[in-house]
Amino acid sequence: MSKEKKPWPTVDAMKQIYEKKLWGGSTPDFYSGIGSHHPDIVQPYTRVLTKFLTSFKNPLTVCDLGCGDFNVGKELVKHTKQFIAVDIVPELIERNRSTYSNKNLEFHCLNISTNELPAADCALLRQVLQHLSNAEVQEIVNKLPNYKYVILTEHLPVEDFKPNKDIISGQGIRLKKQSGLNLLLPPFNYNPKAQTELLSITLESGRGRIVTTLYEN
Residue 141 in this model has a pLDDT that exceeds 80: yes
β partners of residue 153 = 126, 212
How far are the Cα atoms of 41, 66, 97, 127 from residue 25, in angstroms, in the given order? Answer: 17, 18, 20, 18
Mean pLDDT computed over 179-194? 98
Residue 8 has pLDDT above 80, yes or no: no
Q: What is the mean pLDDT of residues 184-198?
A: 98
pLDDT in tens, 106-115: 999 999 999 9
**Do residues 180 and 153 touch, judged by C-beta distance below 8 A?**
no
User: Residue 6 and residue 51: Cα distance in Å, rounded?
Assistant: 42
pLDDT band at 130 (very low <50, low <70, confident <90, very high): very high
Check residue 204 and give its pLDDT: 79
Is 206 domain-assigned? yes
Spatial separation of the C-alpha atoms in residues 92 and 75, rounded to whole Å: 18
Q: Give the CB-side neighbour count of residue 183, counting CA atoms within 13 A.
A: 27
Q: Considering its fold, how many domains does the chain have in total? A: 1
Q: What is the pLDDT of residues 56-78, one digit of tens each?
A: 999 999 999 999 999 999 999 99
Residue 202 lies in a domain: yes
pTM for this predicted structure: 0.91
DSSP string, 100-148: ---TTEEEEE--TTTSPPPP-SEEEEES-GGGS-HHHHHHHHTTGGGSS
DSSP state letters, 15-73: HHHHHTTTT---SSS----GGGT-HHHHHHHHHHHHHHHTTSSSPPEEEEET-TTSTTG
| CATH code of residue 191 | 3.40.50.150
Query: Is residue 119 pLDDT above 60, yes or no?
Result: yes
Pairing of strands 149-156, 209-216: antiparallel
At 14, the pLDDT band (50, 70, 90 cuts) reads confident
Question: Of the ranges 66-75, 93-102, 158-167, 201-210, which one carries the lowest mean pLDDT score?
Answer: 201-210
Residues of the domain holding 88:
10-216
Q: Residue 4 domain-assigned?
A: no
Asked, for residue 90, whether it belongs to a domain, the answer is yes
Q: What is the predicted pLDDT for the residue at 172?
A: 83
Alpha carbon distance 67, 164 (integer Å): 23
